[in-house]
Structure 1
């Protein structure tokens, strides 16, 4: 028993059959009122894929990066100490920049990435599950850079 309000996108009881094409986009709790923003028509991740969060600094991503872009991710060293040589670097043989992920799809980009204002750019990418450990480790160390790949098959 909820008052009708055109400003709120309620899901009405009569609409329940249409919900089979949607899944929860937020935590649903018993007794709460269901509104449209709590649902999504996006499918879940395919088998063997995971989402990895990155916090990229200026120079570690191309301007205009957006959801749906296909990128490659590289382990990069800092200008002071270079790359490699530190313990805990894991699966990489050190020395030089290394390809971490050949092809990842950008899931979300939070904030602006126009190069103005500095700060970190939160980016989530979908990768193969076996690529996640190395990418996550590099991301935690601020040592990952992404490169947008061409979507044209001829280039």
Structure 2
């Protein structure tokens, strides 16, 4: 009796798939190595120092903001070149910011000096605002006192203002001498308000010595008027 043997064939597709998926032993089954975390103590220490430094700086700023110094504040206008009187100063407490404010303890010394620029009320005095000599009161200058009636000078005129000194002709003047400017920008040195009885106002001005005799002569005849120059300081 003849028996037929089946020839050995190729393995089935399922067998191949099972063989290929059953156990992974190729490159795909290998995991990539993970490098261990590198510790950086130097960076951590630097970050800590920065944090501590910032906190320390903030603390110092808060502490310094509480430091107060005594300074000079101007309470009345002082014109350029004028001596700074003690009555124009008062003591104020300000924060110590490092700016060169003049200490109130130096007030007596300051009163012997002059204003480099016009000092307005409310100004905190610094060293740069003070000079030891005044060009306004130096050689070639003269102080002239004027006794003026209301209408011959503007209301509210104060020390440190700049004015035009104008010659106005009296009743006997002619048409060609009605008015002319004798000083273009004279400095007001001091003022006194006229009384209720109609008395004259006393105004002292600083002018060039070359025109002071003429101004004084016209002032004695009541022929001087002042015009304020608000923009000139």
Q: Same fold (TM over 0.5)?
A: yes
* Gap regions ≥5 residues in structure 2: 1-82, 84-107, 114-132
- Is the aligned partner of 1:149 residue 2:229? yes
Q: Offset of 1:97 from its aligned partner?
A: 0.7
- Is the aligned partner of 1:55 residue 2:147? yes
SS in 2 for 1:122: strand
Query: What is the match of residue 211 of structure 2?
Result: 131
Query: What is the match of residue 109 of structure 1?
Result: 191
Select which of 4, 16, 41 maps to 2:112: 41
SS in 2 for 1:126: strand
Counterpart CA distance in 2 for 1:68 and 1:146 is 14
After superposition, the Cα gap between the structure-2 partners of 1:152 and 1:73, relative to the gap in structure 1 and judged at 3 Å, is closer
- Higher CA-based Rg: 2
Q: Offset of 1:71 from its aligned partner?
A: 0.2
After superposition, the Cα gap between the structure-2 partners of 1:84 and 1:101, relative to the gap in structure 1 and judged at 3 Å, is farther
Counterpart CA distance in 1 for 2:156 and 2:146 is 16
Select which of 159, 172, 182 maps to 1:67: 159
Counterpart CA distance in 2 for 1:133 and 1:66 is 23
Asked if 1 retains the 8 angstrom alpha-carbon contact of 2:161 and 2:230, the reply is: no
Asked if 1 retains the 8 angstrom alpha-carbon contact of 2:162 and 2:232, the reply is: no
Runs of 4+ in structure 1 over 6 Å off: none
Q: Deviations over 1:7-39 (max 9, x none)?
A: xxxxxxxxxxxxxxx9xxxxxxxxxxxxxx9xx
- TM-score normalized by the length of structure 1: 0.58
* Gap regions ≥5 residues in structure 1: 1-21, 23-36, 86-93
Q: Higher helix fraction: Structure 1 or Structure 2?
A: 2
Q: What RMSD over aligned residues (CA atoms) do the two structures have, in Å?
A: 3.0
Q: Offset of 1:82 from its aligned partner?
A: 4.4
Query: What is the match of residue 130 of structure 2?
Result: none
Structure ranking higher on relative contact order (CA contacts 8 Å, 6+ apart): 1
Q: Offset of 1:77 from its aligned partner?
A: 2.1
Asked if 2 retains the 8 angstrom alpha-carbon contact of 1:83 and 1:97, the reply is: no
- TM-score normalized by the length of structure 2: 0.40
Aligned residues: 106
